[in-house]
Structure 1
Amino acid sequence: MNDEKRKAMNLLKTARGQIDGIIKMIEDDRYCVDISTQILSAIALLKKANINILDQHLKHCVSEAILEGEHEGEEKINEIINIIDKYIK
């Protein structure tokens, strides 16, 4: 596992901890704005982890597919375009 994937994994583990904390906040009937703030923090971590994973995909999988041939590269590029489309909606 490379450093970037390790960073993404650590971000996901941190987000998981935050989500557990958010669940506890709801169970404890904490202030809604505080809960919402923590949800936004967890979302930010998930987005950052996703960017790290996509960065690695572009640098490794997509670049290798492009070098292997036109069809493979085009397929990988279309996958990334689909992800970006979902990301911006």
Structure 2
Amino acid sequence: MNTEKKKALQALKTARGQIDGIVKMIEGERYCIDVSNQIIAVQSLLKKANILILEQHLTHCVKAACLEDKGEEKIAEIMKVLEKIISK
């Protein structure tokens, strides 16, 4: 597993732990703004993980495909993901 994937995995594990904490906060009827701030923190971790995964994909999969003159499909995949990210 390369560095980008390791970092993404760590961010996702941290996010999972934070989500468990958020569930407990809601069950414990914690202050809504505190809950919301924790949700924002998890969203940030998920974005970070996604960027790391996309970076890994670009530097390995897309690069390899382009070197083999087969990059069009990989570029199209990236464009679809970027459209989803940008349209939010």
- Specify if TM > 0.5: yes
1:64 matched to 2:64: yes
Alignment deviations for residues 13-46 of structure 1 (CA, whole Å, 9 cap, x no partner): 0000000000000000000010000000000000
* Partner of residue 71, structure 2: 73
How far apart, in 2, do the equivalents of 1:58 and 1:33 lie? 37
Tell me what 1:16 maps to: 16
TM-score, normalized by length of structure 2? Answer: 0.96
Distance 2:4 2:56 in 1: 7
Structure 2: gaps (5+ residues): none
Secondary structure of the structure 1 residue equivalent to 2:29: coil
TM-score calculated relative to the size of structure 1 = 0.95
**Greater than 4 Å deviation, 4+ residue runs:** none
Instruction: Give the paired residue count.
Output: 87
**Percent of paired sites with the same residue:** 63
